[in-house]
Structure 1
Amino acid sequence: MGKGGESSISDEEWERFVREAEAGTRPAPEEPSARARMVAARLREQPGRPDAWRSHEPPRRRAGRARYVAGLVVAAGLLVVALNPGRVTGWFGSGGEGGKGAGTPLAVESKRPDQPPPTEAASQLPTLAQPFRGSPAARWGDGAAGIGMPAARATGWMSKLQVAQALRRSRDFLVASDLDPGVLRGERPEKAIALINPRQRDVQGYLTAAFRAPSRKNDPLLLFSRFDKAKVRLVGDVVKTRGRITYREGERGAVEVTADVTFVYPVARATAGGDDVERTIVRRELIMSWDDPAKVITEPGTFSLLSYKSDTTNGGCGTYTGYLSPEFGTESASATPDDGPTIDPYDRSTAVDAGRRGNGDTTCGTATRS
């Protein structure tokens, strides 16, 4: 058993064991060594506030390979309570995976896993009817339901009730940024922007520039998921998600909320007859600060961004149009692999940037699957 009586076996491994045990094909999984448990505990206990920087990425897929892009974005500032843009599932928020044989849905993520999910058969390619076929995301949650939420407790300057509200509103920001139907179709994310402290000048400057003239430095994709509806359409009405929200007391008694969530978007060409289905995968890690208004000048109903980072697979590498730009079929197959790092976009066992950054603000590499 792990620290505090918790099992060190991951939810995924335990569920796999239960299925195989019922079939009589496998003995119970063994506990890892004391050293392995110690290393896993150290990883889970890493400080909650990463270096403040920006990130973004683009990649490709086909034949088991895909281009991925990593970048980073500095965001500093502090802030306070929030707003309620309601739980949005819309385009990708409700309904099942759409495919049969997807397996038992995974329990919501409550802590960082210690290994990536297993690789599916290479022949299990996505289709219009089963857009998550062959992907670990087939067992993930739909929309906001895939984001794990912790129990609220009085922290810093906030009561238990206030913390619960801050957690909900932090999730609302993710929904408004990455699941809102209009935003996914390329609209400006007004509900999400309304939750960001208007007095946080660096972030507000970035937002203004990002939507006026997208560039490597000011790219809206660093915070928001958007597709050009004239070129790309979403397949089905579900976006698969997996991740969690955590929190701790920060400076001046602030409540710092950290979100680490992976979004999987099944896409096809917008043109008639476009039935080649690909997936764009975006993993985001943000830290939102809810500050004591008695100690920090803030606008009621908003938070400050302390940092925001992202990794993107099959979203376009070195293109700054303000939209995710997935590649399809022969485009992906003919893509020349980059010299950057190779990653598994479904691997949530490490931090967003751990061991994958180059010296620049954006790194293009190769994803092993999409």
Structure 2
Amino acid sequence: MGKGGESIPDEEWERFLREAEAGTKGAPEEPSARARMVARRLQEETGPPEPWRSHQPARRQRGKGWYAVGLLVAVALLVVAVDPERVAGWFGGGDGGGESAPLAAESTHPDQPPPTELAARQPTMKQPFRGSPAQQWGDGTAGIGLPEARATGWMSKEQVAQELEKTRDFLAASSLNPGVLRGERPEKAIALINPHQQDVQDYLSTAFRAPSRENDPLLLFSRFDKTKVRLVGDVVKTRGRITYREGKRGAVEVTTDITYVYPVVRAAEGSDDVARTIVRREVVMSWDDPAKIVIEPGTFSLVSYKVDTTNGGCDTFTGYLTPRFNAERAASDPGDGPEVDPYDRSTSMETRMREAGDAGCGTATRS
């Protein structure tokens, strides 16, 4: 109805529908992760933009202590040899000692890596995080810091708080869920991704059926082949935080930067050679205004990802993390890429990827 209760003429209504279908300003848009990634990089970088699923080209696997940037994945070995007794107090005493108090949740970007003194202390079945900074990290979602909610973009304070919780739910469903870690399809996580984001849906439909360099489920999800590997215990250590800002068209754009530490052994009964796979992911998602973006309630549009994996395989695209154990690591050669500390969160993912470039499989300084 127009002003004074007058009806809109049929020809005006038909023109409006034609313009809306053609993409007139103000009409809801189909979300595109590719477009979002390009727009973000044009603002932040001087180099050429990359599509949402772009990655640094992988190189052949060549040995001991790999790490990965983007789609590249890695195997860690090199440790720092020190006198364990001299530094035993860092994590609660001698070989059978208890743990120190857990670290507070990460609320700001750290300015230095965690201490390396205990890297020579090897993990055991009873203490799978022994010898690593992860021993003081949080268990599961307890290690993922949530910011205080405030009204942002099209959302009220209460709505932002709800979406932050859903963001953490996605992280749990994609990287902590026991079934997913055993290789199951991450249905709960996928259900939180906007089904109208066609490029992402194409990736998801291919990644679990025919994983490849371009369509690897490990870009967003953590999975092990249960016939080859099993987790030690039921705890995954995490450290990281969630931040947010107003994004395009009033959306609430959320950035998650989390490091996950998975202790594993071979699947065979009686195996006790404990290794750790370390995955750091930065996932950026957009909680869009449905008045401006075509989206289902309770879902987000994927903006971008970055992933860096230690001891998860290098140049392997099976759809599963493929850790190596002591004997395999001892028989391999040093990597040809730069050295990286997988526990160092003082370096941003953007910087880590830029410094590594296309160096391929590098050397992790500890596992």
Name the TM tier (shorter chain).
Answer: 0.7 to 0.9
1:152 is aligned to 149
Contact 1:55 1:222 in 2 (8 A): no
| Superposition map of 1:103-252 within 5 A | 103-252=100-249
1:310 is aligned to 307
Partner SS state of residue 177, structure 1:
helix
1:122 CA displacement:
4.0
1:66 CA displacement:
2.2
Task: Please tell me whether residue 69 in structure 1 is matched to residue 46 in structure 2.
Answer: no
Partner SS state of residue 161, structure 1:
helix
Instruction: Name the TM-score, length of structure 1 as normaliser.
Output: 0.75
Percent identity between the aligned chains?
A: 68
1:272 CA displacement:
2.0
Partner SS state of residue 261, structure 1:
strand
Contact 1:258 1:285 in 2 (8 A): yes
Contact 2:155 2:252 in 1 (8 A): yes
Task: Please tell me whether residue 351 in structure 1 is matched to residue 348 in structure 2.
Answer: yes
1:301 is aligned to 298
Q: CA RMSD in A?
A: 2.6
Letter in 1 for 2:349: V
Partner SS state of residue 227, structure 1:
coil
Contact 2:154 2:289 in 1 (8 A): yes
Q: 1:295-344 CA deviation, whole Å, 9 max, x = no partner?
A: 11111121001001110000000111000000011101122122112100
Contact 1:58 1:311 in 2 (8 A): no
Whole-Å separation in 2 of the counterparts to 1:137 and 1:158: 35
Whole-Å separation in 2 of the counterparts to 1:58 and 1:261: 25
- For these two proteins, the number of residue pairs brought into alignment is 297
Specify the structure having the higher radius of gyration (Cα): 2
2:329 is aligned to 332
Partner SS state of residue 69, structure 1:
coil
Letter in 2 for 1:66: G
* Residues 220 and 48 of structure 1, relative CA distance in 2, 3 Å threshold: farther
Whole-Å separation in 1 of the counterparts to 2:201 and 2:166: 19
Q: 1:206-258 CA deviation, whole Å, 9 max, x = no partner?
A: 11111110001110000000000000010011000000000000111100000
Gaps of 5+ in 1: 1-46, 74-97
